[in-house]
């Protein structure tokens, strides 16, 4: 059903962008007339303080003013440099933990409501918030363990959902969809960027992030997957004090990986840590198909024993067997400079249309891969590399794959953290010991056996469903035959409902047309004047 409400939300967002100096900061070069007009208006209405704000922080400040949902949108767009460009994506990365905390009493009320017990019965004490993000904030607390009949105090981290964040997100989500569909309508070339599916992905990820039981389950699943892996672990979950709106987990003592001075003073081998981080992420991705998708340095700690401890797993990613196979073959192809195979894999996966020339695509991939060989990390520009990849995907009609965007961004973030730990870090060299055995297994006899087993399972399932499918096919045949003889009939309630919906649509459409016409008249008047 058409509604004008999201358009008013877009107007409000536009006003905030004007006031915060975002529009003024847009480049003039090759800008269309509407943008130039907006820039002239922005100079008049923007806040004086916005003029003194560093340009790299202007957009983050504006989104923070718009609220938690917009901050979450900004964080998501930071994973889409193909949409917003490398520079803006980098600016949006500053949105991590920028939200103001909410009142501790409100947090305690949320804890009591979701856990069904008094805070003082659950915790010995609970601190003021120590970190606040768009979805939740974190408190440090003390609990009493009574294992073996002995009482011991232990520190924990308590994550609490923001009050009202779900309702606000659902409201703002309609605005995001409206913006995506409007851009698709006005700029057909943008449809390849899969804007609406990207908002679908944002919606899915955010709804999962707003149920802290799912984050707790993710932590325990990844812990089980990595229990035998060297140098990487996650905090243990306290399920007795965890529910939808509250997550209690082990308190992590360690050095945050954004504190380089402390890391260097710790005496740990940071080159080894960088290698462990990268290889751990690749194992999670290729071996398990389940990975921590928010591994920025603020979410990573270096423990006293040298282990990497990852926290805040509100965002996670999954890859199916087929996607892991293709990803492994693509990485393997780049490592071995087999660009023709990489091109074939893209087409087999459906990422690039089958009508594209494989040899030409392989040649384009060679232009991406060759510059990185024999160079240290500081000589490789990840931003330029990604820009070239996006140009190639557009050239060969490759649609954006929303399910892989999270993986792609996380891979870049992990490499960035590793590079800070070791300036000479090279992701490709580090990846080899993990990727090569994995792909060798996939394309070898064991991989073929796995495919055969999967095929047998699919055949068995199809045979179980065959009787029900036959019954449904027969029923459908009868219904089609009846429609061909008597036509499609609608009952009176259905006809009345269609009439009412059409009337509402017409009224809303007329209002929208008046708003558009008025805006156009103002623009024309300003242009002529």
- Residue 511's pLDDT is 46
Cβ neighbors of 488 (< 8 A, separation 6 or more) are none
**Which of 110, 202, 253 lies closest to 402 in space, CA to CA?**
202
The predicted structure's pLDDT at residue 48: 64
Strand 232-233 with 246-250, pairing: unpaired
Q: For residues 140 and 159, give the distance between their C-alpha atoms in angstroms, rounded to a whole number.
A: 9
pLDDT of residue 378: 55
The 308-310 sheet, strands edge to edge: 232-233, 308-310, 300-302, 255-256
pLDDT digits (tens, 9 = 90+) for 507-527: 544 444 444 444 444 433 444
Nearest 5°: the CA angle 20, 74, 204 is: 145
Helices (H), 233-381: 260-265, 270-282, 321-335, 339-348, 358-369
The pLDDT score that the predictor gives to residue 232 is 96
Packed helices 402-421 and 321-335: angle between N→C axes, nearest 10 degrees:
50
Phi-psi region of 488 (alpha: psi -120 to 50; beta: other; left: phi over 0): beta
- Please identify every stretch of the chain with a pLDDT value under 70, giving residue numbers as ranges: 1-3, 25-35, 48-56, 79-87, 93-98, 147-149, 189-190, 192-193, 372-391, 393-394, 399-405, 443-458, 462, 479, 482-529
CA distance 112 to 118: 6
Contacts with 413 (C-beta within 8 Å, 6 or more apart), sequence order: 295, 296
348 CB-near residues (< 8 Å, 6+ apart)? 326
Give CA 486 to chain center in angstroms.
50
Which backbone phi and psi does 53 adopt, to 5 degrees? -75, 135
- What are the catalytic residues? 294
Alpha-carbon distance of 115 to 244, in angstroms, equals: 9
Averaged pLDDT score across all residues of the chain: 78
3-state DSSP call for residue 255?
strand
């Amino acid at each position: 059903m058409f509604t004008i409400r999201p358009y008013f939300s877009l107007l409000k967002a536009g006003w905030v962008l004007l006031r915060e100096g975002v529009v003024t900061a847009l480049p003039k070069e090759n800008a269309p007339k509407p943008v130039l007009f907006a820039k002239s208006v922005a100079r008049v209405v923007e806040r004086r303080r916005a003029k003194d704000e560093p340009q790299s922080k202007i957009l983050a400040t504006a989104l923070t003013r718009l609220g938690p949902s917009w901050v979450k949108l900004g964080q998501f767009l930071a994973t889409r440099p193909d949409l917003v460009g490398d520079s803006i994506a980098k600016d949006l990365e500053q949105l991590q933990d920028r939200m103001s905390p909410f009142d501790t009493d409100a947090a305690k009320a949320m804890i009591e409501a979701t856990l069904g017990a008094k805070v003082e019965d659950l915790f010995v004490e609970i601190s003021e918030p120590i970190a606040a993000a768009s979805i939740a904030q974190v408190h440090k607390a003390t609990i009493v363990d009574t294992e073996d009949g002995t009482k011991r105090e232990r520190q924990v981290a308590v994550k609490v959902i923001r009050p009202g964040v779900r309702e606000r997100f659902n409201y703002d989500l309609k605005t995001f969809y409206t913006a995506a569909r409007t851009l698709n309508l006005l700029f057909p070339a943008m449809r390849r960027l899969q804007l609406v599916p990207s908002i679908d992905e944002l919606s899915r990820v955010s709804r999962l992030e707003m149920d802290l039981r799912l984050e707790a389950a993710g932590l325990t699943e990844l812990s089980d997957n990595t229990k035998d892996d060297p140098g990487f672990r996650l905090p243990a979950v306290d399920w007795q004090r965890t529910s939808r709106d509250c997550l209690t987990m082990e308190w992590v003592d360690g050095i945050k990986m954004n504190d380089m001075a402390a890391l260097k003073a710790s005496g740990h081998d940071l080159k080894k840590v960088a290698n462990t981080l990268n290889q751990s992420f690749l194992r999670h991705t290729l071996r398990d198909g389940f990975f921590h998708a928010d591994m920025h340095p603020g979410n990573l700690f270096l423990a006293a024993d040298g282990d990497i401890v990852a926290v805040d797993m509100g965002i996670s990613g999954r890859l199916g067997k087929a996607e892991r196979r293709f990803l492994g073959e693509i990485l393997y192809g780049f490592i071995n400079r087999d660009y023709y195979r990489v091109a074939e894999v893209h087409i087999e996966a459906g990422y690039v249309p089958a009508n594209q020339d494989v040899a030409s695509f392989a040649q384009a991939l060679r232009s991406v891969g060759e510059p990185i060989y024999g160079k240290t990390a500081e000589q490789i520009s990840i931003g330029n590399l990604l820009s070239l990849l996006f140009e190639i995907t557009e050239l060969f009609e490759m649609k954006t794959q929303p399910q892989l965007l999270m993986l792609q961004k996380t891979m870049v973030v992990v490499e960035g953290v590793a590079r800070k730990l070791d300036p000479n870090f090279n992701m490709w060299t580090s990846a080899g010991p993990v990727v090569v055995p994995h792909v060798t297994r996939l394309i070898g006899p064991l991989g073929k056996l796995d495919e055969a087993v999967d095929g047998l399972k699919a055949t068995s399932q199809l045979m179980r469903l065959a009787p029900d499918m036959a019954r449904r096919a027969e029923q459908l045949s009868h219904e089609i035959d009846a429609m061909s003889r008597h036509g499609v009939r609608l009952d009176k309630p259905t006809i009345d409902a269609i009439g009412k919906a059409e009337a509402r649509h017409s009224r809303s459409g007329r209002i929208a047309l008046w708003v558009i016409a008025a805006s156009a008249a103002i623009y024309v008047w300003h242009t002529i004047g």
